Structure 1
Amino acid sequence: MSVIVEKLTKRFTAGGSPAVADVSFEAPTGAITTLLGPSGAGKSTILRLIAGLETSDTGRVLIDGTDCTELPVQQRGIGVVFQSYALFRHMTVRENIAFGLSVRRQSKAEVEARVDEMLRLVQLEELGQRTPAQLSGGQRQRVAFARALAIRPRLLLLDEPFGALDTRVRVELREWLHELHTLTGVTTLLVTHDQEEALEISQHVVIMSEGRVAQAGAPADIYDRPATPFVASFVGGNSMLKGQVREGRAEMGALIVAAPQSAREGQAVQAFVRPHDIKLAKKPAGNGLNGNAAVRVERLKSVGGYVKVLLKLPNGDTVAVEVPRGEFEELGVVEGDSVHADVRSARVFVGDFSI
Structure 2
Amino acid sequence: MSIVVEQLARRFNRGGSPAVSKVSFQAPEGAITSLLGPSGAGKSTLLRLIAGLEIPDEGRVLIDGVDSTQMPVQQRGVGVVFQSYALFKHLTVRQNVAFGLEVRRVPKAEREARVEEMLRMVQLEHLGGRYPGQLSGGQRQRVAFARALAIRPRVLLLDEPFGALDTRVREELREWLHALHERTRLTTLLVTHDQQEALEISQHVVVLSEGRVAQAGSPSDIYDRPASPFVASFIGGASVLRGHVQAGRAAMGALSVTAPAAAREGEPVHAFVRPHDIKLAKAVAGAASASTATGRVERLKPVGGYVKVFLRLPSGDEVTVEVPRSEFDALGVAEGDSVRADVRSATVFVGDYSI
TM over 0.5: yes
| Conserved 8 A contact 1:289-1:343 | no
Give the distance between the partners of 1:185 and 1:326, measured in 2 at CA: 41
Q: Which position in structure 1 is the counterpart of 2:162?
A: 162
Q: Which position in structure 2 is the counterpart of 1:288?
A: 289
Q: Which position in structure 2 is the counterpart of 1:33?
A: 33
Q: Which position in structure 2 is the counterpart of 1:58?
A: 58
Q: Which string of whole-angstrom CA distances, capped at 9 and with x for unpartnered residues, describes residues 69-128 of structure 1?
A: 011111101100000000000000000000001111111110110001000000001000
Q: Which string of whole-angstrom CA distances, capped at 9 and with x for unpartnered residues, describes residues 282-312 of structure 1?
A: 1358462335x42100000111111100001
Describe the SS at the equivalent of 1:326.
helix
Describe the SS at the equivalent of 1:49.
helix
| Conserved 8 A contact 1:290-1:340 | no
Q: CA deviation at 1:246?
A: 1.2
Describe the SS at the equivalent of 1:142.
helix
Describe the SS at the equivalent of 1:276.
helix
Give the distance between the partners of 2:171 and 2:272, measured in 1 at CA: 28
Give the distance between the partners of 2:256 and 2:338, measured in 1 at CA: 17
Q: Give the unaligned 5+ runs of structure 2.
A: none
Describe the SS at the equivalent of 2:54.
coil
- Which residue identity is paired with 1:89? K
- Which residue identity is paired with 1:288? S
Give the distance between the partners of 2:110 and 2:294, measured in 1 at CA: 72
Q: CA deviation at 1:254?
A: 3.3
- Which residue identity is paired with 2:269? V
Alignment of 1:3-152 (within 5 A): 3-152=3-152
| Conserved 8 A contact 1:289-1:342 | no
Q: Which string of whole-angstrom CA distances, capped at 9 and with x for unpartnered residues, describes residues 249-282 of structure 1?
A: 1122232211111111111001000101001111
Give the distance between the partners of 1:290 and 1:55, measured in 2 at CA: 52
- Which residue identity is paired with 1:193? H
Describe the SS at the equivalent of 2:315.
coil
- Which residue identity is paired with 2:71? L
Give the distance between the partners of 1:335 and 1:70, measured in 2 at CA: 61
Q: CA deviation at 1:67?
A: 0.2
Q: CA deviation at 1:14?
A: 1.3
Q: Which position in structure 1 is the counterpart of 2:300?
A: 300
Q: Which position in structure 1 is the counterpart of 2:350?
A: 350
Q: CA deviation at 1:313?
A: 1.4
| Conserved 8 A contact 1:7-1:58 | yes
| Conserved 8 A contact 2:283-2:338 | no
The ranges of structure 1 where at least 4 consecutive aligned residues each deviate by more than 3 angstroms after the TM superposition are 283-287
- Which residue identity is paired with 2:9? T
Aligned length: 354
RMSD between superposed Cα atoms in Å: 1.1
Q: Which string of whole-angstrom CA distances, capped at 9 and with x for unpartnered residues, describes residues 31-86 of structure 1?
A: 00000000000000000000111111100000000000011111101100000000
| Conserved 8 A contact 1:247-1:265 | yes
Task: Compute the TM-score of the two structures, normalised by the length of structure 2.
Answer: 0.98
Describe the SS at the equivalent of 1:309.
strand
Task: Compute the TM-score of the two structures, normalised by the length of structure 1.
Answer: 0.98
Q: Which position in structure 2 is the counterpart of 1:263?
A: 263
Describe the SS at the equivalent of 1:321.
strand
Give the distance between the partners of 2:252 and 2:332, measured in 1 at CA: 26
Give the distance between the partners of 1:11 and 1:71, measured in 2 at CA: 20
Q: Give the unaligned 5+ runs of structure 1.
A: none
Q: Is 1:238 the equivalent of 2:238?
A: yes
Q: CA deviation at 1:135?
A: 0.2
Give the distance between the partners of 1:286 and 1:36, measured in 2 at CA: 42
Give the distance between the partners of 1:55 and 1:354, measured in 2 at CA: 36
